[in-house]
Amino acid sequence: MARWMPEFERFFHYRNLDVSTLKELCRRWQPAIYKGFQKRAMHTALADIHESIDELKYYREHFLIPAASAPAGESAPAA
């Protein structure tokens, strides 16, 4: 890839983000937030990609928030 598609290859990194891992952390640490995202389960390749992007956006907006931005009575998940 580095030889034939160098610009594309730059998008990859050994630290990949796996939405399933983030989902599992949310399920364990913030179950109420976890239950807030519902999949449409269309099961086509393109639909699954779009759904994973939407799911990551959801977790970024609701789960990965700074402690100062967390709703009253809740705290951002500990590392």
Residues 1 and 11: beta-carbon distance below 8 Å: no
pTM, rounded to two decimals: 0.68
Number of domains in the chain: 1
Q: Which of 14, 34, 58, 59 is catalytic?
A: 14
- Residue 1 resides in a domain: no
User: What residue type is 6 in one-letter code?
Assistant: P
- Residue 20 resides in a domain: yes
- Residue 21 resides in a domain: yes
Q: For residues 75 and 57, what is the distance between their CA atoms, to the nearest angstrom?
A: 19
- Residue 46 resides in a domain: yes
- Residue 59 resides in a domain: yes
Domain that holds residue 55: 15-69
Structure-model confidence comparison of residues 73 and 3, the more confident one: 3
Res 35: pLDDT: 95
pLDDT (tens digit, 9 = 90+) per residue, 45-71? 999 999 999 999 999 999 998 777 666
pLDDT (tens digit, 9 = 90+) per residue, 4-43? 999 988 888 777 788 999 999 999 999 999 999 998 888 8
- Residue 19 resides in a domain: yes
Res 72: pLDDT: 60
Whether 59 is catalytic is: no
Residues 59 and 24: beta-carbon distance below 8 Å: no
